[in-house]
């Protein structure tokens, strides 16, 4: 047997800009044309974004091949939608020199990003997020994917955007419940990385809820700085990026056990409270810290207690199936202070005794 080694050079470092503003949608296209002049553009959006007028604001009078996802939301985040997008791009004579523009929430961003990752072995994607979830979380970080008929995000790829444009004015048309639930990821960011950001949230939450544009811009800047830093340190989720999972271990189980009646952010709010209670049990935190966190979540109007119809054993069972579980038990991200993740032996997600978790779920 002979052997020949092929050395694949480490991928070149690449950076992208996140541009944040209010009412900037109308000026995005000329900027993209300047930055990506030779690329044929293809827009992916959904019906709600189109009927809210955001698609027209983005395109102006331009005629651009566009795929409008319908129905909007998770049911369309299926691999079949990606097939339709790829075929629509082929019909529009687009090739390897094209670029996908994703205008929408996390659903559109995940679908369009994944389509970009696989179309002709990969074309760039520009993310234009329009929800509190997408502007704080999904548009930055390069995780893309769609569901199979069996599980969520069964198809996926890391495909970092070529640019991100955040127009906080697009949030004006977002439904109140979606708007508030999405802000839980902002609270999470503050908790894991920046106590000053937490103070800002305490101080300015009313303005945020009134959707004051200058405050929403500042919020977006905090979020992008925090998420951007974590992603830079660990682009492919080897270790440090796991800190973004704060509140998510129990939160994901709650979300699934509710039959997805709870929005993701609403379930994560419960998960954040649960993490806080675990921290108290492990003497990593005191009740007054958890009170501050609870107050902010209550003001957001998201749940801070387990709904009565959710059984603890079912939650434990779901946690054992967590995709990040080791020997059928997940790791937990915990904080030792507001703005600081507890790190044990270089690990950002740590083991917690199942009895402690069971006790917390009972109290929750
Ligand atoms: N890739 C990641 O890192 C990442 C992170 C978090 C969430 N996600 C994914 O994101 C998805 C959820 O995203 P989401 O919470 O943004 O929800 P979404 O994209 O489904 O949007 C929620 C609803 O709001 C509508 N909408 C969006 N923007 C609007 C606007 N500006 N005005 C009016 N209506 C608007 C949508 O049409 C939809 O009906 C999930 O599939 C989740 O898995 C991915
Ligand atoms: Zn989340």
Give the CATH number, domain containing residue 313: 1.20.1090.10
Nearest to 363 by CA among 304, 285, 297: 304
**Annotated active-site residue in 248, 255, 279, 331:** 248
Helix (H, G, I), strand (E, B) or coil at 127: strand
pLDDT at 155 over 90: yes
Where in the chain does DSSP place strands (E)? 17-21, 40-46, 66-69, 98-104, 125-129, 143-146, 155-158, 163-167, 335-337, 340-341
Average pLDDT of the residues in 225-248:
91
23 lies in the same domain as 156? yes
At 287, which helix (H) or strand (E)? helix 287-300
Mean pLDDT of 16-44: 97
Confidence band, pLDDT 50/70/90 cuts, at residue 252:
very high
pLDDT of residue 151: 84
Beta bridge mates, 231: none
How far does Cα 41 stand from its chain's mean position?
Answer: 24
Domain count, the chain: 2
Give the start-end residues of each E strand in 47-151.
66-69, 98-104, 125-129, 143-146
Residues 226 and 320 in one domain: yes
- Please say if 252 is a catalytic residue: yes
Best mutation site among 67, 110, 247 for ligand 1, i.e. most ligand atoms within 8 A of its Cβ? Answer: 110
Crossing angle for the helix pair 287-300 and 264-281, to the nearest 10 degrees: 170
Residue 148 belongs to what domain range?
Answer: 17-174
Q: Is residue 180 part of a domain?
A: no
Element (H, E) at 11: none
Indicate if 241 belongs to the active site.
yes
Q: Residues 145, 267: one domain? A: no
Residue among 35, 74, 217, 237 flagged as catalytic = 237
pLDDT per position as a tens digit, 233-243? 888 888 889 99
- For residues 169 and 228, membership in a common domain is answered with no
Ligand nearest to the CA of 179: 1
pLDDT tens digit sequence for 41-55: 999 999 999 999 999
Lowest mean pLDDT among 1-10, 54-63, 255-264, 275-284: 1-10
Which residues, in sequence order, are CB contacts of 115 under 8 Å at separation 6+? 44, 82, 85, 86, 89, 100
Asked about 77 being catalytic, the answer comes back as no
Count, residues in the chain: 364
Residue to probe by mutation, ligand 1, list 102, 134, 171, 248, most atoms within 8 Å of CB:
134
When pLDDT is averaged across residues 260-270 and rounded to a whole number, the result is 96
Q: Could you tell me the CA-to-CA distances from 161 to 90, 126, 127, 138, 186 in Å, in that order?
A: 21, 6, 6, 11, 21
Last residue of a domain, one of 174, 208, 228: 174
121 in a structural domain: yes
Active site annotation includes 211: no
CA 315 to chain centre: 23
**Is residue 351, in this structure, part of any structural domain at all?**
yes
* Spacing, Cα 184 to ligand 1 middle (Å): 14
Q: Is 237 helix (H, G, I), strand (E, B) or coil?
A: coil
- Residue 320 CA: distances (Å) to CA of 46, 52, 260, 314: 35, 41, 18, 10
Q: Can you read off the two tokens belonging to residue 150? A: 């069996």
Does residue 239 have an active-site annotation?
no
Q: Which numbered ligand comes closest to the C-alpha of 181?
A: 1
Let me know if residue 137 belongs to a domain. Answer: yes
> What is the model's pLDDT at position 262?
96
User: Is residue 234 located within the same domain as residue 359?
Assistant: yes
143 is annotated as an active-site residue: yes
Closest-CA residue, ligand 1 atom 5, reads 138
Residue to mutate, 46, 105, 182, ligand 1, most ligand atoms under 8 Å from C-beta = 105
Same domain, 276 and 137: no
Domain's final residue, options 120, 154, 174 = 174
Say how far apart CA 163 and CA 94 lie, in whole Å. Answer: 20
Where does a domain end: 146, 174, 202?
174
Catalytic site residue from 227, 242, 266, 331: 227
- Identify the residue whose C-alpha is closest to ligand 1 atom 34: 174
pLDDT tens across 66-79, in order? 999 999 999 999 99
Question: Per residue in 302-355, pLDDT tens?
Answer: 999 999 888 888 999 999 888 778 888 999 999 999 999 999 888 889 999 999
- The residue nearest atom 19 of ligand 1, judged by CA position, is 105
Of 185, 255, 266, 279, the catalytic one is 185
Buried b (16+ CB within 10 A) or exposed e, 177-206: ebbbbbbbbbbbbbbbbbeebbebbeebbe
Question: Is residue 129 a part of any domain in this protein?
Answer: yes
Give the pLDDT score at 223.
98
Which residues have any ligand 1 atom within 6 Å of their CB?
Answer: 46, 48-49, 52, 72-74, 77, 104-108, 110, 130-131, 133-134, 137-138, 141, 143, 170-171, 173-174, 178, 182
Q: Same structural domain for residues 170 and 227?
A: no
My answer on whether 293 and 146 are in the same domain is no
Give the whole-number percent of the chain exceeding pLDDT 70. Answer: 99
For the chain, give the mean pLDDT. 95
**What are the Cα distances from residue 2, in Å, to 5, 67?**
10, 50
167 and 235 share a domain? no
In-domain check, residue 187 = no
Here the CATH number for the domain that contains residue 164 is 3.40.50.1970
**What is the chain's percent helix, strand, coil content, to nearest 5?**
50, 15, 35
Residue 264 annotated among the catalytic residues of the structure: yes
Query: Both 146 and 27 in a single domain?
Result: yes
8 within domain boundaries: no
226/353 same-domain check: yes
23 and 169, same structural domain? yes
pLDDT value, residue 254: 95
Domain annotation covers residue 166:
yes
């Amino acid at each position: 047997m002979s052997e020949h080694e092929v050395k694949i050079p480490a991928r070149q470092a690449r950076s992208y800009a996140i541009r944040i503003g209010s009412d900037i949608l109308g000026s995005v296209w000329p900027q993209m044309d300047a930055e990506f002049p030779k690329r044929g553009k293809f827009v992916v959006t959904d019906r709600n974004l189109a009927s809210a007028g955001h698609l027209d604001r983005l395109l102006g009078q331009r005629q651009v091949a566009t795929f409008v996802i319908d129905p909007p939301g998770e049911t369309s985040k299926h691999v079949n939608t990606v097939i339709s997008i790829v075929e629509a791009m082929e019909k529009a004579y687009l090739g390897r020199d094209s670029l996908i523009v994703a205008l929408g929430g996390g659903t559109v961003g995940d679908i369009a990003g994944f389509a970009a990752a696989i179309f002709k072995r990969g074309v760039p994607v520009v993310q234009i997020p329009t929800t509190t979830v997408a502007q704080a979380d999904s548009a930055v970080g390069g995780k893309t994917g769609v569901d199979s008929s069996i599980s969520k995000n069964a198809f996926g790829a890391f495909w970092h955007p070529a640019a991100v444009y955040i127009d906080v004015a697009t949030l004006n048309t977002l439904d109140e419940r979606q708007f508030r639930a999405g802000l839980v990821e902002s609270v999470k960011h503050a908790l894991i990385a920046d106590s000053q950001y937490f103070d800002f949230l305490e101080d300015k939450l009313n303005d945020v809820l009134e959707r004051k544009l200058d405050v929403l811009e500042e919020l977006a800047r905090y979020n992008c700085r925090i998420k951007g830093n974590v992603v830079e340190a660990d682009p492919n989720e080897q270790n440090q990026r796991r800190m973004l999972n704060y509140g998510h271990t129990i939160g994901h189980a709650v979300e699934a056990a509710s039959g997805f009646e709870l929005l993701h952010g609403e379930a994560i709010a419960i998960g954040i409270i649960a993490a806080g209670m675990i921290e108290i049990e492990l003497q990593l935190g005191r009740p007054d810290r958890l009170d501050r966190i609870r107050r902010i979540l209550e003001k957001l109007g998201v749940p801070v207690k387990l709904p009565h119809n959710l059984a603890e054993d079912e939650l434990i069972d779901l946690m054992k199936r967590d995709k990040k579980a080791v020997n059928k038990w997940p790791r937990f991200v915990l904080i030792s202070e507001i703005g600081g993740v507890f790190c044990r032996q270089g690990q950002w997600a740590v083991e917690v005794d199942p009895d402690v978790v069971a006790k917390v779920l009972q109290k929750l």
